[in-house]
Amino acid sequence: MNIRKITLNRSAGSWRFCCAALLPGLLLISGNVAAQTADDVADPLDVPEVQAELMLLDAEVVESSTEQTALQLAARQIESKDLSGAATTLERYLITDPESLVVRVEYAITLCRLDDLQAGRFEVTKMAGSEIDQATADRVQAECQIAASDMPALKNR
């Protein structure tokens, strides 16, 4: 028998021995884990920090239920450098009122500030044919880095 076959046979034998020795211990441990009941596990929603966060989210949902309050909340979030929170607030309102041009403009600008230019420009294309003032169109163009020739046909008042 050559040396390679002896080494392989010993390795396989060692592996079998280790498995035979470890298997009962692993089964015992897994049996103890499986024996835990659902009553032993704490509900993650009962943690005070989670409850506080849920209450804050509920308050934000209520606060962003009208166009004006959604814009005010988003403005406060932008002031505190929470751009993703502002985008979420504006998007939440747009689900309830997808025709809100003022909120869509702010949402597009916020997405562009988050460096999601593709999504911001997509929101700008949804405004095509809408009436917005020149200052707002210029602001959207600057924030989303859109050339004047690439701006969708926006009606200026």
Helix H or strand E segment including 156 = strand 155-156
Residue with tokens 């929603």: 45
pLDDT cut 70: percent of the chain above it: 61
Burial 22-41 (b: 16+ CB within 10 A, else e): eeeeeeeeeeeeeeeeeeee
Beta strands in the chain (DSSP E): 131-132, 155-156
Map tokens 């997509």 to a residue. Answer: 122
Could you read off the pLDDT tens digit of each residue along the chain, which spans 157 residues? Answer: 555 455 445 555 554 555 555 555 555 555 554 445 555 556 666 777 777 766 766 666 666 678 999 999 999 999 999 999 999 999 999 999 999 999 999 999 999 999 999 999 999 989 888 888 889 888 999 999 888 777 766 655 4
Contact (CB, 8 A) for 62 and 89: no
